[in-house]
Structures are given as structure tokens and as C-alpha cells.
Structure 1
Amino acid sequence: MARVTSSKKACAVNPLKMSQPIGGALAFMGVSGCMPVLHGSQGCTSFGLVLFVRHFRESIPLQTTAMNEVATVLGGLDNIEQAILNIVKRAKPDVIGICSTGVTEIKGDDVEGYLKLVRKRHPELADLGIVHVSTPDFKDAFQDGFAKTVTRLIQEFVPQHETPQRRAPQRVNVLAGCHLTPGDIDELRDIIEAFGLQPTFLPDLSGSLDGHIPEDFTPTTLGGVSRADIAAMGTAAWTIAIGEQMREAAKTLEARADVPFMLFDRLTGLAVNDEFMSFLTRISGRPAPIKFRRQRGQLVDAMLDGHFHFGGKRIAIGAEPDLLHSVSHWLKEMGAEVAAAVTTTSSVLLENIPSEEVIIGDLEDLEKRAADCDLIITHSHGRQASDRLGVPLYRMGLPMFDRLGAAHEVSVGYRGTRDLIFALGNIFIGQTPEPTPDSWRRQSGDEGHETTAIASDLVQPSQAH
């Protein structure tokens, strides 16, 4: 069991975590026809906008209530009202998602009360979906804001059923945590649909931030799960929650519509994907398709090939709790040691991380503990620590702004786990010096028998299966 500690420094040095409003905004971006709004100053929104644009390299819909000093003191009713009216006039969204920020939370703005007044003053907004989420950025982190927003979307749009509803046996809800990329969601959709099931993802970033080029410009999100699809989630036979952060949202959906749920805290690794396939087989009544049996065999072979290079490696990881949990347990299964683990916020998963200590801290805390490690895993802000220490960096999480294809990275399922083994294994292979004729002769103990030494040195790991 890991010892969980919090950094006691007066300030964060090279911060690892991002704020709740940013996480909430990302969740709203997985809803079709949505305009996320940060209720705060323009600077708060500009920061989030730049971060998302650099990571996804796409046009990002994100607006602000543009609170200034006077409005902050007097209250933000007028700013919220004007922002909603301007957005409706210019963008014509189906949903407006409002995330609070630190400045308006400290002031104590009654946003729910403001929204009631705005609807009363403007009857034309009666059919507009407006969802407010309390996401102060002076507490918690990105993952928390994302999870709260998914829960609020369910509370707002899924009807409360007093009597049992007719179930669509092939429909399943999938609550996708913020540690899943659009590529991960696409992979999961392919897997679930192969069993004859019809998944509804909430949020569905694969529809809005997967890098496709639309036929027509739209100022709102380009795709994702629709408001009608969210409302229909109450008629599904099952809910699949991916990541501990989605537990509360799954419980809320179960309470509102009596939809049972199954939670998978990770889908990276062999055993966890066996459990996932077994569950899909059970609820669909179909055996696992042949292609997944083949992918499983490929993963097992990749594990056999890769464990020679993973065994005994010391890894330092800095990530949100669910991503940290997923990657660290997979690395342990591959024979590596999680020598340093740093995260952003508290979670029930932290005590079960396979490391002696888990620190809720920043990238400086990670750097101090990664000096004797073989690899650092974190987002792009870890590149300076990697350079200073001379330890290779594998980028995971958000933001990833100095590499292409961040949205299409896949680390779930048999295939995603297989590719992750290859990606990290190749880094470890690159760290191993190429053997030279002199080293071969020294290993053989006889400079006159180079051929024998060379032949024995070139035996490949796959031949030792």
C-alpha cells in the first residue's frame, strides 16, 4: 500500500495539475452543438483556449463572461445574461455549458439563481439547454472538474423515472474519463460495436476533437453526443464507467433511471481487458469475435518480447490519478518498478498505486525523485526535467503540444496495450549501447573466437520463448 503525501511547498514549481474549469470545459466539448463558457475573467478563458488549441491543434469553441473588477464586486448577473444572449445570437448552440472560476466562486455568485432570472426575462431561451457546474480552480484539479461536469449533464438532461422503463437490450452507456483520448474512445466504440451493442459515449470527444474536417464551419462543437442521446441514456440496459472518476456519474444515472453500471478502473493490460471482453460477452450474449482473440495473442507475444526490456526498469510517472493508476499497474505487470509517482488531486486509488509513496505535488517533486530512473512519463511540461536529468521522456496526458497526433494516441484494449509496449520498449532499446567487436571479444573471453561470441550475442529474445 502506497503512502500518500501532499507537497507542503509555498508555491508550485512547474505545475503538473490543471484547474477544474479546464476539465469541465473539455467535458462540454464532447457534447454536440455545445458552447462551453468560463464564468470569470478573459485571462482564465484565454489560458484554457491556448492550452486546448496547442494540444488538439483544432479550432476550439470556448467563450467567457469577461468579468472585470467592478462586475466581480457587484455580481455577474449582467455578464452572464449578455454572454448567453450573444452566444445564442451568433452561434445558435443546442447547449451552453457554464463553468465557474476562482474569482466568481470567491465572490459567491449565485449562478443557478442568475439562470432562473435570465430564463424568466427571456422566454425565447426556454428550449435552450444551459448547464452550470461549480468548478473553483483554487481546489481540486482537472479530473475533478471533468467528472463533476459529466454528473451535471446527467442530472440536467436524463429524465427522472419514477417507474421502471422499457430497456433497449443492445444499448449501453459508456462514461469515458478524462484520461481517455479521442483515439481511445474510437477504439472502445469499435470493440463494443463488434459485440452487436450500440454504445452512447458521454462525453464523446471522438466526435468533436478527433481532427476531422467538417463540410461546413460551425462556431460550436463539431460533433459529440447529442442532447437527445443523453436523454435516452435512461433506456439503456447497462452503463460502463471507465475510470474511478466516473463512479459518481454512474451512480447518478443509476439513481435517476435505474440503469445498472459496471466500473472498469483501467483498460490497459491483459487481465483487465480479458475482464472487459468477458463482460461484453455476458451482456451481449455473443462470443468474443475472432479478431479480438487474435489481438489478445498479439498482446501476449508483445509482452513476451517486451518483458526483457521492461524488467527492472525504474519509472517516474506524473499524471492525473486515473491515468497514474492505469499506467503504473500496467508497468508493474510488465516487470518495471514505479520509483516515483506524483499526481494532482486526491483519489481513493492512490493508496493502491504500486509505489512506496504517491505525492500530490508538482513536476519539481517528480524531477527530484527521477534522477536515477530510466524513464519519465508525464505530459509535455516534463520535457525540461527530462533534459536536465538526461532521462528519456514518454509523453502521456494533457497537454501534449510538442508532438503531433496527441488526440489519436491509443492505450486501451488489447491493441492499444500492445502498441504501448512497443513504444516504451523501443525507448529502452534505444538506451542500450550498440555492441562493438571489442565488447563481443571481451564477453567471449577469447579474442580468437569472435564468430562464436557474435553468434551468441545476437540471439533474439523472441527465440527464447
Structure 2
Amino acid sequence: MAKTVESKKACAVNPLKMSQPLGASYAFMGLDSCMPVMHGSQGCTSFGLVLLVRHFKEAIPLQTTAMNEVTTILGGYENIETALLNIHKRAAPRIIALCSTGLTETKGDDVDGYLTTVRSRKPELDGTALVYVSTPDYVGAFEDGWKHAVTAIVRHLVPETGSPDAPAAALATQVNLLPGSHLTPGDLEELKEIIEAFGLTAITLPDVSGSLDGHIPPDWRGTTLGGTSHDDILRMGASVLTLAVGEQMREAAEALEQRTGVPYRLFDRLTGLACNDAFLMALSELSGRPVPARYRRQRSQLLDAMLDGHFYLGGKRVAIGAEPDLLLAGGSLLNEMGAELHTVVTTTHSPALDTLPAELALVGDLEDLEQGARGCDLLMTHSHGRQAAERLGKPFFRLGFPVFDRIGNAHRVMVGYRGTRQFIFEVANLMMAHLPHAAPDTWPLPDAARRVARPQACSTTPTTDGVTP
């Protein structure tokens, strides 16, 4: 429903978006025993590394081909070969995943050709899987980088039907889960728990809940610790269905279907009531099992939370800036709670924006968000928007990547009935904390609670609190 327009400013002021190479590197970190590599200068990699470390408060494995002025002009083959050999020798990863940057894309390096040459020249790399994805950072955004990286993983590593590495037969209880970049490690843990409650097992690609969930590893390795293993990727063709979450995962789901014949079903969001109803019913139909009683209980709890929360969210004007799929998930729920999406700023074009319940979605920056938020009651974006909220004196809800001035980002949950309920509580509590200082009997309460709290309001004397229940 939203019309998408692009800002015509000559430059971005206080940028909202993160780059494609960063999104791709994040996706590669969801693979076990993997070393992500940015093909570009050291500065490109260092900037992305800082953002990831500050957001997750974890050690992040990320390498670079360290291009300089001379190698950029002459071509990056030698840098790529040297980087691959050094990484293989020092960290011994099972997978080395490369993504390009604006520097090498502008030069026009033929990285696919480079990797073919390396394979023929360096047999010691035969046991290491190599994945490459083109992610110029002068187009697209974080979500696009993740999307293209997952698609590249599927095309490089998932064996086609009929190939020697393809699984012999399908497994009736195995499904594939393709999560979007907007889902946290906590979200993935919640989804896998829901899937397992129906007697199904899920191969999640990529699985950042195994590598970036904030655990203390029993040993140290220079690569990623946990995530989707290479063997699991080889078995994805034996699944009976692929569950894709977020419009950004449509491309990867289609590529997986083309290679393996496994059909897919895409859920544009799993934050809300109806979308989770559809998700659980799909799992019930697939497994032949009824929805477990605990999820029926959680649904009832979510309904009660929506009833309680709408007194603080109904009629509020919200300014929100986020990647398209995250924007759709959070913004749609706020709209269902009675809030108005007054100002919507996003990072890149996406079909997900077509169903966003807003009049306009602007592909812009945080300056655009700040200007539109002047007449709003709530500002929502990542941590780089905190100064704008302070200048405007607006309640500020941190949403998306990066969030570096709070801890526990890996464990936030916004999916499923429980995650949706928690999101409502967090936003409603923020709005409650910013109510004008007043006695409790002037807070917005339902009729029944109002009669209990203020019996005198039941007389014929009209109330004067100005609040519509």
C-alpha cells in the first residue's frame, strides 16, 4: 500500500543504511567453520568489523584482501590468492566466503575467474569450499547483501538433483528454514523451537543463532564457531519444504527449488497474530500434528497483550526507519495496534514495501527521518538515530542494526506469539514512561479498570482527564 520514492538529495546526511558487503559478511557468519573475506581495502573491512563487534559484543572473524592503490589498478588476483592461502594455513576453515566491495567492483575484478585459476594452481585448497558474491556498496543495502549472499551459498554449495553429492531420498520430517537478515539469533532459536514442537527438524541457512548467540565456546578457532555446517547444506535437497521468512529470501528459495526441486513457502513476516496463525497451521498441515497446547496458550496471551497495549499505542504517530522486511514486520504490527505510520524511511527498494500500511516509504537517510518525526509521538530506528530523538525530545525505540548502546541484541525476540507479545510490551512501556507526569488515576485505562480505580467517575459528573478509553 505504500508508494516508494527515493530521496533526491545530493548526499546522505547521517546515513540510515548499512552496505551490501556488510550484509553479506553477516550472512556468511551463519556458516560453521567459515571465514568471511571482503575483497577490498583494509578500511572497508575495519569499518564493518567495528559495527558487528559493537552490536554483538563478540569476537567477529572477518578478513580482507587488503587492496591498495597499485593492486587496485593492476588487479586483485595476487591479493586473493595470498589471502586464501594464508587463511587456509592459519585458520583451516571449511568454507571461505568472499564478497566484493565498491573499490573492486569499480575496477571490475573477475573474481569468479580468479577463483578458477586459484583452484587449478593451488591443490591444497581442494578441501576448502569457496563462495563468492558480488556486493558493490554503492548500490543496495544491508538486506540486499544478505539476500545475494544466501543465494550464492545455495548456488555454490547445494548439490543439484542427480549430482553425486545430492541426497538419495527426501526425509518426511526435514524442512529448510531461510531467515532474513532482520531476524536475530534469538528469533531463530524461537522459530527452530516452534518447528521442532511439530516433530520436524530444520536446516537453517544461514544460522547465526549457532555462531552469534553470545555463548562462551569450549575452544578457540579463528573461524566462525557454530552455524550451518557444510554437511547440512549438502542435505538441504532432502527436505520436503523450504520455509522462507522475509521477502528478501524469495530469491534464495527459488534458487534452492530450481536446484533441488524442494518447494517453498514464503512468510513476509512473523511478527503479529494472523501471520503466526498461518505459520503454525502450515507446520500442522505439513507434520500432520495438531498445534501444541502451549502455542494456543501463547496466542491467548498475545491477544491479551494487544488489548492491554493498544491503550498506549492507539492513535500514536510513529516515525520509523529500517530495512524493508524489518520495517514491514514492526510497522505492520504497530498499525494493527492502532498506531499511524506517519514517517517511513527505508534503505532500499523491495516488494515488501508494497504491502506496508503507510502512504509513503522514502528511500532516504536519518535526516529525512528526523524532519518527518517532528510531528510524531515515537521514533524507531537503530542506534545512530539516538541524537535525533534527543534533539526532538521524542521517545526512542532502538530497532535494527546496529544497536551498540544496549546489550543483549542477539537475544531479542520479535517473532512468534511470544516475540510479538514482548515487542508490544517494550513499545507500550516506552510510551507509558513518557506520559506526562500525572497521578495514576489519569492514565489511560479500560472502562472496567477505570471504574475500579475511580468509583467517583461512575457518577453523572463527566470526567475531565481528556482521555478516551
Q: Same fold (TM over 0.5)?
A: yes
Which residue is equivalent to 1:444? none
Match in the other structure for 1:446: none
Q: CA deviation at 1:24?
A: 0.3
Deviations, residues 197-233 of structure 1 (Å, cap 9, x unaligned): 0011100000000000001111100100001101100
Q: Could you say which residue in structure 2 is the equivalent of 1:160?
A: 160
Output the amino acid matched with 2:68.
N
Tell me the equivalent position of 2:450: none
Which residue of structure 2 lines up, in the alignment, with residue 143 of structure 1? 143
Change (3 A) 1:82 1:429: same
- Between the aligned partners of 1:295 and 1:75, the Cα distance in structure 2 is 57
Give the 5 Å matches for 1:255-274.
255-274=258-277
Alignment CA distance shift 1:232-1:437 (3 Å): closer
> What residue is the counterpart of 2:235 in the other structure?
232
Partner of 1:100: 100
Q: 1:308 to 1:439 in 2, by over 3 A?
A: closer
TM-superposed deviation, 1:351: 2.6
Shift of 1:352: 2.2
Pairs within 5 Å for 1:334-413: 334-413=337-416
| CA distance in structure 2 between the partners assigned to 1:206 and 1:319 by the alignment | 21
1:218 paired with 2:217, answer no
1:93 is matched by which residue type in structure 2? P
Match of 1:333 among 315, 333, 336: 336
Q: What one-letter code is carried by the residue in structure 1 that aligns with 2:92?
A: K
Unaligned runs of 5+ in 2: 444-452
Q: Deviations over 1:290-316 (max 9, x none)?
A: 110110110011111111111101111
- Output aligned runs, 1:103-252, within 5 Å: 103-162=103-162, 166-252=169-255
**Percent of aligned pairs with the same residue?**
60
Secondary structure of 1:161 counterpart: coil
The DSSP-based 3-state class of the residue aligned with 2:350 is: coil
Q: CA deviation at 1:430?
A: 1.4
Instruction: Give the structure 2 partner of residue 322 of structure 1.
Output: 325
Structure 1: which 5+ runs fail to align? 441-449
Residues 261 and 410 of structure 1, relative CA distance in 2, 3 Å threshold: same
Q: Structure 1 residue 433: deviation in Å?
A: 2.5
AA in 1 matched with 2:36? P
- Of the structure 1 ranges 67-76 and 351-360, higher mean CA displacement relative to structure 2 is found in 351-360
The structural deviation recorded for 1:329 is: 1.0
TM-superposed CA distance for 1:327, in Å, is 1.1
The superposition leaves residues 60-108 of structure 1 with CA deviations (integer Å, 9 ceiling, x where unpaired) of: 0000000000000000000000000000010000000000000100100
CA–CA distance in structure 2, aligned partners of residues 175 and 255 of structure 1:
15
Distance 1:282 1:76 in 2: 51
Q: 1:451 to 1:422 in 2, by over 3 A?
A: closer
Deviations 1:379-426 (A, max 9, x none): 000101100100111011100000011111100000000011110111
After superposition, the Cα gap between the structure-2 partners of 1:226 and 1:436, relative to the gap in structure 1 and judged at 3 Å, is closer
Q: Does 1:88 align with 2:91?
A: no
| Whole-angstrom CA distance in 2 between matches of 1:210 and 1:437 | 39
Equivalent position amino acid for 1:126 in 2: D
Q: Is residue 2:419 matched to residue 1:416? A: yes
Q: Matched residue of 1:36: which SS?
A: strand
**Residue 432 of structure 1: how far off its partner (Å):** 1.8
* Greater displacement, 158-167 / 28-37: 158-167
Letter in 2 for 1:334: M
Structure 2 CA distance for partners of 1:439 and 1:58, relative to 1, 3 Å: closer
Corresponding position: 1:15 with 2:18: no
Three-state SS of the structure 2 residue aligned to 1:371 is helix
Deviations 1:9-64 (A, max 9, x none): 11101100011000000000000000000000000000010000000000000000
Distance 1:451 1:326, change over 3 A: closer
Structure 2 CA distance, aligned partners of 1:114 and 1:439?
A: 69
1:354 deviates by 1.1
Structure 1 match to 2:435:
432
TM-score where L is the length of structure 2: 0.93
Contact 2:441 2:454 in 1 (8 A): no
C-alpha separation in 2, matches of 1:432 and 1:160: 58
Q: In structure 2, what is the Cα distance between the partners aligned to 1:162 and 1:200? A: 21
**1:454 Cα deviation from its structure 2 partner:** 7.8
Q: Which residue of 1 aligns with 2:449?
A: none
How far the C-alpha of 1:437 sits from its partner, in A, is: 9.8
Q: Kindly tell me: are residues 386 and 166 of structure 1, through their superposed partners in 2, closer, same or farther at Cα, counting changes over 3 Å?
A: same
Letter in 1 for 2:104: T
How far apart, CA to CA, are the structure 1 residues paired with 2:353 and 2:420?
Answer: 22
| Cα distance between partner residues in 2 of 1:451 and 1:128 | 71
Corresponding letter in the other structure for 1:250: A
AA partner of residue 48 (structure 1): G
SS class of match (2:109): coil
